[in-house]
Amino acid sequence: MTLTTAEENYLKAIYHLSDGATKSVSTNDVAAEMKTKPASVSDMLRKLGDKEVIEYRKYYGVNITEEGKKRALQTIRKHRLWEVFLVEKLQFAWDEVHEVAEELEHIQSPLLIQRLDSYLNFPKFDPHGDPIPDEYGDVRARPRLALNEMDIDQSGQIVAVKDSSAAFLKYLDKVGAYIGARIKVLDKVEFDGSMEILVDQKKTLFMSKDVAANILAIQS
Amino acid sequence: MTLTTAEENYLKAIYHLSDGATKSVSTNDVAAEMKTKPASVSDMLRKLGDKEVIEYRKYYGVNITEEGKKRALQTIRKHRLWEVFLVEKLQFAWDEVHEVAEELEHIQSPLLIQRLDSYLNFPKFDPHGDPIPDEYGDVRARPRLALNEMDIDQSGQIVAVKDSSAAFLKYLDKVGAYIGARIKVLDKVEFDGSMEILVDQKKTLFMSKDVAANILAIQS
DNA sequence: TTAGTGTTTTAGTCTTGGCTAAAAATATGA
DNA sequence: TCATATTTTTAGCCAAGACTAAAACACTAA
Ligand SMILES: [Mn+2]
Ligand SMILES: [Mn+2]
Ligand SMILES: [Mn+2]
Ligand SMILES: [Mn+2]
């Protein structure tokens, strides 16, 4: 059973909202994610249910099926491989790739993806540090580590925060640290564990050990 | 004014049928080319007329406008650049690229095409020997020469025939020479101008000067 | 000049993926 | 438990792009 572009986009959204097919997802959440109205979502859920990529019980939200998970991961795989291509080969910036990949991921050609994968040397992560599922849908999660666990001169990228309180996020915003920022450890003070971090190759930032422990990064 | 994928496909078909925007094109011809019904074409012609990419007079066929020609050439440019990418970078065979390029040509991103062009080193011809329009829609036609004008050891590709009589085509068919075949001149007999041609790197073919003079090729 | 023939358009229908407004079901809390 | 609030679905509508059947038009040949 083939999925349309719209169906693929919905399924991908449901997969993400379900935290990797673990929790069930509400109509309203899907509508918010897809920037459509709940009424449109109800319609689409019925179709996806008929195609057996989700399990749909009216009024009780949806759960993605095994088949649906497989399909979603294929689309995600294609999306991320294209992102790697755009950054590595076509010199796109980091934040310019998502929109285009959102279109490219729907091109139907198994051969194309197989060859692209090989051409890119079978990358395991996309430019945002997200793992690229293999052709069977298996994902290798990249270890994330807190900033205070990194050593001097190590580089990486901020991918998440442990403490996501408004106060903390506001602080990060103020000092110019954001999800996706490329960072490098310039110094670590033995005495109190405070750190000096280079952000985006231009801005130097001092932070306490407490702050550093709440910022998660991937190494590069 | 943006065009939908369907509109781009129609416009490209009309451009091709009109021999590069020179002659007018009938509803039936478009229907045949697009493998749809004339009724569907009438509908689409009205839309393309409204968008002023064609001039549409009911019952009298269409002529492509300057704007339409520009749009069609942009789509053709994208199609052919992707074909080059697939063959040169992803090792696609010659005859495997068209379908995929037919999808890729609709990806909307000027930056993407600009970067792809540069990445491929600004190719002037696609894998089928067809010229790639530049970003302003200018086309550099590749010189075609008759086989008997080629020298020993030169390689190329058959792109057309001068004599398109059934008899000649039947003959070509029988000996395994076809539009698109890759050829190499193995020998040329001084005495009568007859030639020995290697077809598709496997089949050797002898032909008279008369025959050779009626086959057009591009060099590679 | 007109009848016939083939081409093209129109009218009406379908599917997909949107929308709004209204109805129905579920959840909450007094 | 029951009234109200929230969520979700249904009903009805729209646009794009297909289709079939029927009507309108253009061209040709008598
Ligand atoms: Mn997408
Ligand atoms: Mn990504
Ligand atoms: Mn196309
Ligand atoms: Mn081509």
User: What mean pLDDT do residues A165-184 have?
Assistant: 81
Number of H helices, E strands in chain B: 8, 8
Looking up tokens 């086309």 gives B139
Mutation to test the B interface, candidates A106, A107, A114, most B Cβ within 10 Å: A107
Contact of B125 with B132, CB cutoff 8 Å: yes
Q: Do domains A5-64 and A144-219 have the same CATH topology?
A: no
B59: nearest nucleotide, CA–C1' criterion: C8
Q: Report phi then psi at A188, rounded to 5.
A: -130, 125
Which residue did the predictor score with more confidence, A32 or A177? A32
Nearest one of B88, B78, B86 to B110, comparing CA atoms: B78
d(CA A205, CA A114): 42
Domain at A144-219: CATH code: 2.30.30.90
Select the more confidently predicted residue: B173 or A149.
A149
- How far, in Å, is the centroid of ligand 4 from the Cα of B93? 12
Q: How far is the CA of B213 from the centre of ligand 2 (A)?
A: 56
- pLDDT at site A61: 93
The answer to whether residue A166 scores a pLDDT higher than 70 is: no
Rounded distance in angstroms from the CA atom of residue A157 to the C1' atom of nucleotide C25: 46
- What residues in A contact B89, CB-CB < 8 Å? 119
pLDDT over 70 percentage in chain A: 98
Contacts of A165 (CB under 8 A, 6+ apart): none
Task: Taking residues A65-70, report their average pLDDT.
Answer: 97
At B166 the pLDDT is 67
pLDDT bracket for residue A3 (50, 70, 90): very high
Question: Is residue A10 very low, low, confident or very high in pLDDT (cuts 50, 70, 90)?
Answer: very high
Distance from CA of B120 to the nearest CA of A (A): 10
Least confident of A47-51, A160-164, A210-214: A160-164
Asked if CATH classification 3.60.40.10 holds for the domain at B5-64, the reply, yes or no, is no
pLDDT over 80 (residue A179): no
Could you say which residues of chain B have pLDDT below 50?
A: none
Within a 10 A sphere around the Cβ of B86, how many other Cβ atoms? 26
- What's the confidence (pLDDT) of residue A170? 77
Q: Is residue A180 predicted with pLDDT exceeding 80?
A: no
Strands A62-64 and A145-146 come out as unpaired
Predicted confidence (pLDDT) at residue A164 exceeds the cutoff of 70 = no
- Min Cα–Cα distance to chain A from B119, Å: 7
The pLDDT value recorded for residue B159 is: 80
Radius of gyration of chain A (CA): 20
Cβ-based neighbour number of residue B95 at 10 Å: 10
B6 three-state secondary structure: helix
The pLDDT value recorded for residue B164 is 64
Question: Mean pLDDT in chain A?
Answer: 92
* CA B129 / ligand 1 centre spacing (Å): 33
3-state helix vs strand vs coil in chain A, percent to 5: 40, 20, 40
Structural domain spans, chain A: 5-64, 144-219
Q: How far apart are CA B80 and CA B157, in angstroms?
A: 17
All protein residues with a CB under 7 A from any atom of strand D: A 26-29, 38-39, 41-43, 45-46, 56, 58-59, 61; B 4-7, 35-37, 39-40, 43-44, 47, 59
What is the per-residue pLDDT across A128-144, written as a single tens digit (0 to 9) for each? 778 899 999 988 877 88
pLDDT, one tens digit per residue, over A88-125 is 999 998 778 999 999 999 999 999 999 999 999 999 98
How far apart, in whole angstroms, are the C-alpha atoms of residue A40 and residue A64?
18
The nucleotides of chain C lying under 7 Å from a protein CB are 7-12, 16-22, 25-27
